[in-house]
Amino acid sequence: MQRILVVRNDKIGDFMLAWPSFAMLKASCDCHVTALVPSYTAPLARLCPWIDDVILDPGVNGDVPAQRQLKQQLQAARFDAAIALFSNGRNAWLLWQAGIRYRLAPATKWAQFLFNHRLVQRRSRSQKPEFEYNLDLIRHFLRQHDVAIVEPAPPYMQFDAPTLATVRAKTAADLGLEAAMPWMMVHAGTGGSATNLSMTQYAELVLGLQRQHRMPCVVTAGPGEEANAAELQALIQAQGGEVRVYHSRQGLDYFCQLIANAALFIAGSTGPLHIAAALDVPTVGFFPARRSATPLRWQPLNSRGRHLAFTPPAGSDKEKEMSLIAMPEVLLRVNDWLAGLH
């Protein structure tokens, strides 16, 4: 059995878009898969059914003992191969120092010269989804090893019905919601990698949807996102909308189980949107117009027809672009789309 290290040690959304890669790797060949991830995505890695082991990366700011321990862990594991879905100079140096014989990464930047297997990928052109760029690396590895490729399919994250029912009942009791009703969830925060709608735009969208659908809104908020959540709640309540705030303080596992109970999930291009999509919850996403952040490049993992994307008009001013997304037009499209889903 091959021991394979897969590196995706960046943000939550990026890590979720690697799940199809883990699925393809495990379905296609007899291997033991270890993921190198930062501590904040480790709970998600441990939920992934195609990851056998997790190694924590202290990151570039980790202290010297932590960096030394990571190097020793990588060397002691005696990996047969390493696939860097995320490539930078530090990752390249780590894998080279670990003495891993087969090291594959995108052929980009100076770091490529520390990898002895490379695949040309023009990710900066954003011509396909990020998860497809990741899958292309796995396909390259499998072809080089003469392994038949098994293509993965959504949903990528699943929980059993009793677990979801328990979380739903607890959330309903804690927030004063009707457990039997469909819940719309909105995550108005952002990890900082993409611009987002204003709270006024989110409120207009929620209120418009509630005029057409009896669907209470749950605003989800992680650490540092409490102010946005409170502002959005106040805006919706001021116009008679039904809204509650869920503060994510019970860990990522529980947060994922909560999201799995949503009938609809709305967010900008951020981690929770990609978690919802991995669960195949219907998602509505808002993306900047910049080439590096387009709806195509950061397309979530929903099955066909269960994701709807919006972006500002081409050529919009960077500072004002998200404000140019017109909520009346969004509402029309979302309502039509929801009718088709049901």
Per-residue pLDDT of the chain (342 residues; tens, 9 = 90+): 899 999 999 999 999 999 999 999 999 999 999 999 999 999 999 999 999 999 999 999 999 999 999 999 999 999 999 999 988 899 999 999 999 999 999 987 777 789 999 999 988 888 999 999 999 999 999 999 999 999 999 999 999 999 999 999 999 999 999 999 999 999 998 755 567 899 999 999 999 999 999 999 999 998 889 999 999 999 999 999 999 999 998 999 999 999 999 999 999 999 999 999 999 999 999 998 888 889 999 999 999 999 999 999 876 666 568 999 999 999 999 999 999 986
- Compute the distance between CA of residue 132 and CA of residue 21 in angstroms, rounded to an integer: 9
How far CA 230 is from CA of 63, 111, 224, in Å, comes to 36, 44, 12
Cβ-based burial of 305 (10 A; exposed 0-12, middle 13-18, buried ≥19): exposed
Q: By C-alpha distance, which of 264, 265, 322, 272 is closest to 293? A: 322
Looking from the CA of 162 toward its CB, the CA atoms found within 13 Å total 0
| Collapsed DSSP state (helix, strand, coil) of residue 84 | strand
What torsion do the CA atoms of 168, 202, 13, 174 make, to the nearest 10 degrees? -20
11 Cβ partners below 8 Å, 6+ apart? 41, 191, 193, 271
Which residue is associated with the tokens 């082991």?
53
Please state the length of the chain. Answer: 342
117 bridge partner residues: 104
> What is the dihedral angle through the alpha carbons of 8, 296, 185, 225, rounded to the nearest 10 degrees?
60
Going from the N-terminus, what domains does the chain have, and what CATH number goes with each?
2-144 (3.40.50.2000), 161-341 (3.40.50.2000)
